[in-house]
Structures are given as structure tokens and as C-alpha cells.
Amino acid sequence: MASLLILPSLSTRCGRELLLTLVVASLLLCPAFLLFGAENPSQAIKIDQVGYPLDGSKVALVTERSTTFVLRRLNDDAVAFRGTLGPAVFDANTGDQVQAADFSSLKQAGSYYLEVPRVGRSYPFSVGAITFERTYYLAMRAFYGQRCGIAVNLGPEFPGYSHGICHMHGEFHPSSGLRGPRDNVGGWHDAGDYGRYMVNSGVTTGTLMWAWELFGPKLKHIQFKIPETGNGTPDLLNEVRWNLEWMLRMQDSDGGVWHKQTSEHFPGFVMPEKDTLPSEVIGTGAAPYKSTCATADLAAVGAIAARVYTPFDAKFAGRALEAARRAWAWAERYPDVTFRNPPGVNTGEYGDASCKDERLWAAAELWRTTGEATYHEFFLGNFAEYLPSLDSPSLENWKTLAPMALRTYVLSARKGADAGAVQAIRERALTAARAIVERTCGNPYRVSMQASDYVWGSNGIAAQYGMDLLIADVLSPDARFVDAARDNLHYLLGRNAFSLSWVTQVGGRSFQHPHHRPSGAFSNQQPWPGLLSGGPNANREDEVLAALASNLPPARNYADQQASYASNEVAINWQALLVFLLAGQLQ
Ligand code: G3I
Ligand code: 9MR
Ligand code: ZN
């Protein structure tokens, strides 16, 4: 039986006109299981495997040629929507011909799947008000899973996802300038390794505390079943404090901060409590032994912590601010002490040729917290050269902190702010956001990424686009900013070349083999939940990627293999960007 339907299509906020399309649907109306095997969804249909908010654009993508699509209710296969596919458009970053299935005008919440003649059916997904809450919960709980210096157990929700207490003893490495024991227990394991790194901790804790400052009312009641739950402090801040306390212990008596605490080389794929390599506090190897970038990062996050913890623990907030002030003073005295791995140390380096942007971030956060002239003068005297850093996310957010400095200044709205500086930053950030929206709408995969973005940690860059767009929406509310931010979340949750959800245990087909020691060293079938994969990396800096076909388009250089640390590791800085992006979507 055929049916004649008039449907709006392409009614997304990408600025396209509402088109009325006359559709003669010639589908034989018969139960879907006769047409498409329910047991094998097609990877040629790309959807956000979590779902779509009721109020925003809802677009799936199809990479095998067809003409129409149908949305069916998951529980009874009833047709909820019929539409036409958009024209096939070539996407150079994936090599795909991509057609859009736009069902934005659907207004009925529920669970659905997409069906495309001659292609198949999609993984299931939801449409509704409560879309990303559980993903946010899992993504934040992943930080609890990364805790060092404590036994971790995800509880009955995830039986067997636990590890013993670890890295309880540390010592000063000769490169630190001191000798003897230095336990410094606590903090988060950085990534798939068990190292703890001040530089990556800086941007990570800063990003998470900003999520609190911007979206706190939506986050304050969400609990993560962590040891501190119910202590009167919101769980997001409870979790961040676990790492902040370790960061504070990395500060020397002179205010300087050592760069990292790791073993001299990476351990094997063992559970954390089985890693018996000495945990070393590692410095630059020469006086003053601490690094300016690590120290300035502590100054910045200490200033933020002083703001966000005051209502919950004024004593801790005061301690954080005092540490920030002392770190600032050390960095003023030693402005250019950069870090390279000292001889015999080959864990993550997080090296950086200049720490001036970290000092700019520290100045901005300290001024925002205290209003004191010293910090304001440094910021006003040095911000202008960094305005171009707002145009697009850096490829290494742990190294490029000027965007954080500029954005915190314009977000602070503190009395006494320099109107010219606020205007210059605001205009640059909003101009960039508008350009990103246009590019995202025109991208066949509806993602903000450019070919040059597909590097180590590219999924973090996709989430960074989302964060920057959400901050633009705070500066100047615009539904197109929110929609484009959400498009990047759709990319991470399945609307990508691999039809893969890049968050573990989220979606109908999530990635399975992260480069993550606790996931590789235990017997559970699924990896630890809520973790974001690093994503495609066209520089192919591991043997797995190097062995892929040589002429792959940039967005296809990915392997869901544990050994691919350059495309499939997890890391706290990328994780924090995912959390920020999710937090901005919560109702
Ligand atoms: O941006 C340049 C690009 O312009 C150039 O063409 C390309 C050619 O090599 O290099 C690009 O820079 C790369 C950068 O990632 C881009 O994101 C660097 O080579 C590459 O070394 C860098 O990778 C870093 C990686 O450590 C290796 O140093 C990642 O940013 C960083 O996130 C990652 O961090 C590791 C820690 O060291 C250890 N813990 C795990 C963590 C995540 O893998
Ligand atoms: O596991 C390490 C991962 O955390 C780092 O990001 C990566 C790059 O520094 O190195 C990984 O360790 C590998 C080492 O570099 C080469 N030998 C195998 C190690 C485990 O995969
Ligand atoms: Zn540990």
C-alpha cells in the first residue's frame, strides 16, 4: 500500500529554508523484521546512539545511496515519521557520500530506529527531554574510576569494576632536586597509563570547575555514588577535589610545582595496585627543578577553586588561593623554566616551549577571583597577542591555555574589567563561533572538525568545539551555537564514519578496546564505562595506525584496538571536555 505524505524536511537550524517535500512513499507496509533484520543494524546509517533532545534538530546520516527513510517506534515498529533523504554530498574527511535524514519536526518523545530502503535499520536511540543525563553520569563517574591512592569500586551497577589501593608510596626523583620519600598520594591516573601530570591536570580541573560555574544549577543534585557523596558538597566538586588535593601536594615550599609524578617508564598492562614501579616526583633536572607551566597551572586552578569551593569549604578554598598566590610569585621569579623528560625518564612529557600562556591564564583567574591589580596588569599587558587563539581549538589543549585565559576574563564580568579588552575578546570569540556554526552546517557529517583537526586526541578537539560554542552561547545566546555544539556530541556518540559510540558502555555499538590499563588487565567483557576514546589521528603515531591503508582520509585513521594508543587511549583532559559538553546539554 502506498501513502501520499507532505513532509517538512531540512528544517534544521542550519539556516536552510523549510522545504515542503511531496513524498510518495512506496514502502510495502509490512513488519520491519521482514524487511530488515532487527539483529544487525546497518553501519551505513549514522545516528547519535544515545539520542536527540525533543527541541533541537534531529538528523541522521546515510552513506549508502537511497531516497527515503522511515522512523519506527522501537516497541511496536509503528511508523512515526516518513521523510526523504537529502542529496548525496561527498565528504573529503571520510571519503563518504553522505545523505541527511532530517526528522527534526518529530515532536513525539520515545525510542525509535531509522529504516532506510535497500540500506537497513539503525541502532536504536531516544528522542526526548531526558537525553544525555546518564551519559553525563557515566562520563563523570569515569574520573572516580581513574582515582589513584584509593581502592575504587563502581558497585553493584558494574560488578567487578574495581581496583585495589595503588601508588601509596612515592619518592623524589633526582631530577626533582631533592631526595627521599614523597608519597603525594591521590589524584587521577592521567589516561591509559598510571602517571599523574600537573600540566594535564591543570586544563582538566579547570574545565570541570568551569562546567560547575556555568551549569551548576543543572549539576548540583546529580550524584556519582563516590565515597564523598552526601557530604554537602556537589559530587562534581567532590570528584575534582580528589585531584586538586594531589596537585597541591606537588607544590614545593618555595611555591614552585614539580612537573609530574610517574614511574621512570610506563608499566605493563597491569591493574594499578599491581604496578610496583617506584612512583617518582619528577622535575627538570636542574635548578630551580620545578617547571613554570606546572606552577602557573596550579596558580590558575587554585584561583578557580577558591571561587567554587568557598560556599562548601571555605578553609579549602582559602588553602587553594594561598597556593595560587605562591605559585604566581614563583612563576614571576622563574617565568621561563620549561620541561623536557630528564635522562632515564620516558613517560608522558607534556612539554611546552612557552609558559607565557599558562601565566596569562593564572593572571586572569587570579584577577577574576581577587580583583587585584597585579594580576590585572599582567593580563591587560599580554592578552592581545593571543586573540587569534580563539579562532579554533588548539590541537593540544593541555599546552595552549590562552583561550582559557581570554574566556575567563570575558566570563568574569568583574567590576573594573577593561571594556576594550572585554569587547575585543567577546567579538573574536563570537565571530569564531559563527564561522564554526556555518562550517558545521555545511559539513556533510554535521561536525565542526577540519582535516587538520584529526590528530592525537581529535575526539577531545570535537568536544572542545562544543565547549567553545556553549561558551559563545553564554556570551550571546543563540540556538545555533547550542545546536552546533550538540552536533559535535552526536559525532562522538555514533554519528561518525565508524558508526561507533566513542564513549565506553554508551550506545548500541560502543568502542571496546581502549588503551587503558585497568580495562586491559581485568577479566570483564566490557571496558570501564563512560570513557572517551582519543579518536582518529592522521599522524598515525603508533604501529597499529601505521599499518592501516596508507591513503586513508584523515577521519578514518582510527582502530578500536588496545595497542593503538595514538587513536584509542583515554585521557582526563579529553574526558573533561566531554563532561563540559554533556553538562551544557542537561535540562
Ligand atoms: O599538532 C602537530 C601537527 O601540526 C603536526 O603536523 C604533527 C606531526 O607530528 O604533530 C602534531 O602534534 C602532535 C600533537 O599530539 C597533536 O595533538 C604531537 O606530534 C604529538 O606528540 C602529540 O601527542 C601527545 C601525546 O601525549 C604524545 O606526546 C598528545 O597531545 C597527548 O594528549 C598525549 O598525552 C599522553 C601522555 O603523554 C601520557 N598519558 C596518556 C596521554 C594520552 O595519550
Ligand atoms: O601506555 C602508554 C600511553 O599512555 C602513552 O600515551 C603512549 C605514548 O607515550 O605510550 C604508551 O606506552 C607504550 C610505549 O609508548 C611503547 N611501548 C608500549 C607501551 C604500551 O602501549
Ligand atoms: Zn594509582
pLDDT in tens, 562-582: 999 999 999 999 999 999 999
| CA-based R_g, the chain, Å | 24
170-172: strand order across its sheet: 170-172, 279-282, 260-262, 196-197
What are the start and end residues of each CATH 2.60.40.10 domain in the chain? 13-128
Contact residues for 24 (Cβ-Cβ < 8 A; gap 6+): 2, 4
Q: How confident is the model at residue 423 (pLDDT cuts 50, 70, 90)?
A: very high
How far, in Å, CA of 143 to CA of 244, rounded? 13
Mean pLDDT of 27-49: 68
pLDDT tens figures, 490-533:
999 999 999 999 999 999 999 999 999 999 999 899 999 999 99
Q: Which atom of ligand 2 is nearest to the CA of 347?
A: 9
pLDDT in the model for residue 584: 97
228 assigned to active site: no
16-31 per-position pLDDT tens digit: 434 444 444 444 444 4
Active site residue 560: yes
Cα-flanking dihedrals φ and ψ of residue 126, to 5°?
-110, 155
Please name the fold of domain 13-128: Immunoglobulin-like (2.60.40)
Q: Where are the alpha helices (DSSP H) in 413-564?
A: 419-442, 458-475, 479-492, 517-520, 543-546
Q: Give DSSP secondary structure letters for 273-336.
A: GG--SPEEEE--SSTT-S-HHHHHHHHHHHHHHHHHHTTT-HHHHHHHHHHHHHHHHHHHHSTT
Ligand approaching nearest to the C-alpha of 266: 2
**Centre of ligand 2 from the C-alpha of residue 227, in Å:** 31
Amino acid 428: pLDDT: 98
Where do the CATH 1.50.10.10 domains begin and end in the chain?
145-498+568-583
Q: Which string of b and e fits 347-372 if b means at least 16 CB within 10 Å? A: bbebebeebbbbbbbbbbbbbbbbee
Whether 571 is in the pocket of ligand 1, judged by its Cβ within 6 Å, is: yes
Look-up of cell digits 599587558? 381
Q: What is the pLDDT of residue 25?
A: 43
Q: What is the pLDDT of residue 12?
A: 53
Whether residue 1 is predicted with pLDDT greater than 70 in this model: the reply is no
Assign 6 a pLDDT band (cuts: 50, 70, 90): very low
Residue 33 has pLDDT above 90, yes or no: no
Is 133 assigned a catalytic role? Answer: no
Q: Is 396 in the pocket of ligand 1 (CB under 6 A)?
A: yes
Question: What is the 147 CA–ligand 3 centroid distance (Å)?
Answer: 7
- CATH code, residues 145-498+568-583: 1.50.10.10
Is the predicted pLDDT of residue 487 greater than 60, yes or no?
Answer: yes
Summarize pLDDT for 281-291 with one digit per residue, the tens: 999 999 999 99
532 lines ligand 1 (CB under 6 A): no
Q: What is the pLDDT of residue 180?
A: 98
> Would you give the end-to-end CA distance of the chain in angstroms?
41
State yes or no: pLDDT of 36 exceeds 80: no
> H-helix or E-strand containing 247?
helix 235-249
Check if 190 has its Cβ closer than 6 Å to any atom of ligand 1: yes
Taking the CA atoms of 152, 223, 465 and 419 in sequence, report the sign of the dihedral they define: negative
Q: What are the respective helix, strand and coil percentages of the chain, to the nearest 5?
A: 40, 15, 45
Contact 338, 292 (CB under 8 A): yes
Q: Given this model, what pLDDT does residue 32 score?
A: 45
- Which chain residues have CB less than 5 Å from ligand 3, an ion? 148, 166-167, 272
Each residue's pLDDT tens digit, 174-194: 999 999 999 999 999 999 999
Considering 167, 376, 515, 516, which one is annotated as catalytic? 515
- Looking at residue 13, its pLDDT comes to 65
pTM for this prediction: 0.94
3-state secondary structure of 501: strand
Residue 35 has pLDDT above 80, yes or no: no
Mean pLDDT, rounded, of the chain: 94
> Using a 6 Å cutoff on CB, does residue 195 contact ligand 2?
no
Mapped onto helix, strand or coil, the DSSP state of residue 554 is: helix
Is 372 in the active site?
Answer: no
pLDDT band at 129 (very low <50, low <70, confident <90, very high): confident
**What per-residue confidence (pLDDT) applies to 287?**
98
- Cα separation, 204 vs 198, whole angstroms: 10
Peptide bond into 288 cis (omega under 30): yes
- CB contact set of 161 (below 8 Å; sequence gap of 6+): 145, 153, 154, 524, 528, 529
